[in-house]
Amino acid sequence: MSAMETKTKIVVITADDAGRRMDNYLFSELKHVPKSRIYRAIRKGEVRVNKKRIKVEYKLQLEDQVRIPPISQPEQAPAVRPSNNLVDLLQQRILYEDDKILVLNKPSGIAVHGGSGIQLGVIEALRVIYPKLALELVHRLDRETSGCLIIAKRRSALRNMHAQMREGQVHKIYQCLVKGWLGKPQIRVDKPLYKNQLASGERFVKIDLQQGKPSATKFKEIERFEQTSLIEADLETGRTHQIRVHAQSLGCFLAGDDKYGDKDFDQKMKALGLKRLFLHAMKITFKLPGSDEVKVISAPLDVELLDVLKRLREQRKL
């Protein structure tokens, strides 16, 4: 791939970027430049702030003037554009939007971002819809999971939302269909989870008392059927695959879960029309960035999931 050299830029720091470390700021400004080259440019004084040399850990201040030097970087292939159908779908599934954030009812089967053989995810598609905004994911959902997904339109909003998440101010509730019943109206699972990445790049999570990170989920039974139940999962922590692994530890395998599930159970659910993981981020509660207003956003279940529940209710009546 041929290389191109950027031109010298003088950037005046706005409130959105004030407080960021110098190196992290440059990583976002020079996305395709190796980090080692960026660190070298800072150490050698090629990058200047207010005409002075700075260190990589320098915290940017409002109205700082940053000199970004010419740096060679590979020419990028034209960005893959989302189809009109995908653009229309995402626009129809916006649950809330203001000048700082948007909340999307993410469709199942679409990754939140590209990578690992996926050219285009939700965030890349939204960046085409909003070309003038610096959109960033506030959090993630697995590819097969649907429901509430927050995207920041400004870096200040991203920092605010991440601070809320660290302080436990963002509350997420999911709905899932599982094999069997909880055995009681509510159960709290408090078991540490360890994430392992296989040679293939696939992530696999297990309960590990020694190496695992603290993880807790509260499960609540919503509706009971003959061999399955609809339950609510209230996350106290937000670990990878947390709901799926904690439910598995109870013997309540999620329907359509090809990684942690039960194959015989999944076959029965397929016969009812389920072609995906039955896991949906149904509600998210947080404070609007820059405000004390608490926002509660709910995402309705997709038609496919509603149809499966309808068939289960019909079976129960027979």
pLDDT in tens, 190-229: 999 998 866 556 778 999 999 999 999 999 999 999 899 9
Looking at the predicted structure, is the pLDDT value of residue 142 above 80? yes
> What per-residue confidence (pLDDT) applies to 199?
55
pLDDT in tens, 53-77: 999 889 998 889 999 888 876 555 5
Looking at the predicted structure, is the pLDDT value of residue 265 above 70? yes
> What per-residue confidence (pLDDT) applies to 9?
86
Looking at the predicted structure, is the pLDDT value of residue 248 above 80? yes
pLDDT in tens, 38-55: 899 999 999 999 999 999
More confidently predicted of 92 and 14: 92
Q: Where in the chain is the domain with CATH 3.30.2350.10?
A: 84-162, 168-317
What is the average pLDDT score of the chain? 89
> What per-residue confidence (pLDDT) applies to 77?
53
Of the candidates 258, 89, 265, 236, the residue with the CA atom closest to the CA atom of residue 169: 236
Looking at the predicted structure, is the pLDDT value of residue 238 above 90? no
pLDDT in tens, 281-308: 999 999 999 899 999 999 999 999 999 9
Catalytic status, residue 142: yes
Packing angle of the helix pair 122-129, 84-92 (nearest 10 deg): 90
Residue given tokens 């409130």 in the structure block: 15
- Residue 175 banded pLDDT, cuts 50, 70, 90: very high
> What per-residue confidence (pLDDT) applies to 306?
97
Active-site residue, from 64, 142, 266, 302: 142
> What per-residue confidence (pLDDT) applies to 14?
83
Q: Give domain 84-162's CATH superfamily.
A: Pseudouridine synthase (3.30.2350.10)
Residue type, 228: T
In this prediction, residues 171-193 reach a mean pLDDT of 95
CATH of domain 168-317: 3.30.2350.10
CATH of domain 3-73: 3.10.290.10
> What per-residue confidence (pLDDT) applies to 24?
84
> What per-residue confidence (pLDDT) applies to 255?
97
- Residue 1 banded pLDDT, cuts 50, 70, 90: very low
> What per-residue confidence (pLDDT) applies to 197?
67
